[in-house]
Structure 1
Amino acid sequence: MFPLERQQKILDLLQIKKVLKISELTEELNISVDTLRRDLNTLTKQKKIEKIYGGVKLIESKFAESSMDERMVSHLEEKEMIARKCAEYIEDGDCIYLDSGSTTYQIAKYIKHFKNLTVVTNSIPVVNELMNSHMELVIIGGKVRLNEQSVVAYDYMFNFNQLNILKAFICASGITIEKGISDYNLEEAITRKKIIEISKEIYIAADSTKFGKDVTVSIAHLDQIDTLVTDTHLNKNTIQQFRKINTNLVIAEP
């Protein structure tokens, strides 16, 4: 197979699965890792794909939400740093909310040692991660979004006011000083709005790529947010701008 044929085959495979591991591609194409890397370098220079931790993905559209499978492996090191920092704000006996996002999912890995912790969530991956732990798990009731592996709830389906959440850890697809935090999906946004409304402390866990974006649905202005936790790749100008507002900006370091 000629290089152009291989490269087109890689793009075709990514159209189907969105994210592929290096090992999957070498097996599917029956080529060496070195040959694959040359093809991937070519496609990366053409801005058709993006290299991620352990694999590759199609360049995500600026106008649409990427899939959960993509986000679970994209910017993974940064999300783990953010998750570790978020876990520092949690204490024994807390009742916390973990949102349905790839960054908040990582938090679940760092909280298993806490005592008497109650975790409320709408994330099926978070439930699976904590299923065998000793903490109290509460999953909100509602409609399952299969592609997001999450549950979205409405007032007539779930009584949010019965929850007594001390600290809520929320994801966002967009963050700006002017518009606050936003998301692509209306149903997810409704659930996040309700959680923000009833929780005592609000933490946004989002990697630096989310800053400067204002996407489809507004969730909350920054004056409703106590702390933003992000990674070290946030540019200095953005950091300086956020230092001027009341919301606490925390940079998670390795």
Structure 2
Amino acid sequence: MTAMRDDPVVAGDARQGRQAQRQRAITEAVMSEGAVRIEELAARFDISVMTVHRDLDELEGRGLLRKSRGVATALSSALVESSDVYRASRQLVEKEAIAHAALDFIEPGQAIMLDDSTTTLHLVPHLAAKKPLTVITNTLTIMEELRSANGITMLGLGGQYYNWCSAYMGRITTTTIANLRADLLVMSTSAISDDVAFHQTQETVDVKRAMFESSSRRILLADHTKFERRALHAMLPLAQFDTVIVDTGIDPVHLARLREKGVNVVVARRASRQ
């Protein structure tokens, strides 16, 4: 036990986890109020002003907040909501249940594509149970998690790196995807309107569509809040996916309508606690 406590890798991971949680809280606080003085953030989160400045510098670099003259100011809520910093803390129980349900569609020996969604990220720790696998992704977070995983071959899609979503996108990315053929795509979406998946940014839509076209089977992961949100760019109709996995919080009206349209909807049940 003492050795684990003193392990610098374990300590570093814990420190990064606390920092990420704090940065999400700072982002939400500034989004909620529009603008907050840096000294107030330091007092609110019981950290030094220097630490707040470091956090804000990183968040500003990711396009989430602006820091000027001692004040942190919120930027576009649409951009913030599409960032991995914001999304990672939302609907955790639902995302975990959906990820477990998606695992049933993965078979050993497959080549699978994973997009940059935080719902898909919940699937990653469970992939070892399905090895051997080839995982194709544009998401740096997934690459880092799987880089030393036994039995998993990692194909990282390069391109222009976008810090706000920890992913590579652009023409290099989509061209590379077009030259691949995956057995399965697992992806998510920011919003669903009129039974069509939408996203806030065109760059993200381009990558997800390229992945869709290069995969034999396609699964969409969508927690119930996606049906309550709006985004600018249309991506794909839900009817085009082989399976749409939702959680038990979905409005029965949405569920009935999708099934009436012939959409194969799977409702993920929350794992029972022992």
Bigger share in helix = 2
Q: Structure 1 181/188 Cα, relative in aligned 2: closer, same or farther at 3 Å?
A: same
CA distance in 2 between counterparts of 1:220 and 1:118 reads 25
1:227 corresponds to: 243
* SS of aligned partner of 2:260: coil
1:99 corresponds to: 115
Letter in 2 for 1:195: M
CA distance in 1 between counterparts of 2:27 and 2:213 reads 44
Deviation at 1:253, TM superposition (A): 0.4
Structure 1 portions without partners, runs of 5+: 1-9, 19-23, 30-59
Q: Percent identity?
A: 23
Letter in 2 for 1:146: N
Q: Structure 1 26/62 Cα, relative in aligned 2: closer, same or farther at 3 Å?
A: closer
CA distance in 2 between counterparts of 1:243 and 1:133 reads 38
2:171 corresponds to: 154
Contact 2:188 2:221 in 1 (8 A): yes
1:14 corresponds to: 29
1:197 corresponds to: 213
2:192 corresponds to: 175
TM-score normalised by the chain length of structure 1: 0.74
Contact 1:179 1:214 in 2 (8 A): no
Deviation at 1:15, TM superposition (A): 1.5
Match runs of 1:1-254 below 5 Å: 14-15=29-30, 28=46, 65-66=80-81, 67-134=83-150, 135-154=152-171, 158-176=175-193, 178=194, 180-254=196-270
CA distance in 1 between counterparts of 2:209 and 2:232 reads 14
Deviation at 1:63, TM superposition (A): 5.0
TM-score normalised by the chain length of structure 2: 0.69
Letter in 2 for 1:70: Y
* SS of aligned partner of 2:185: strand
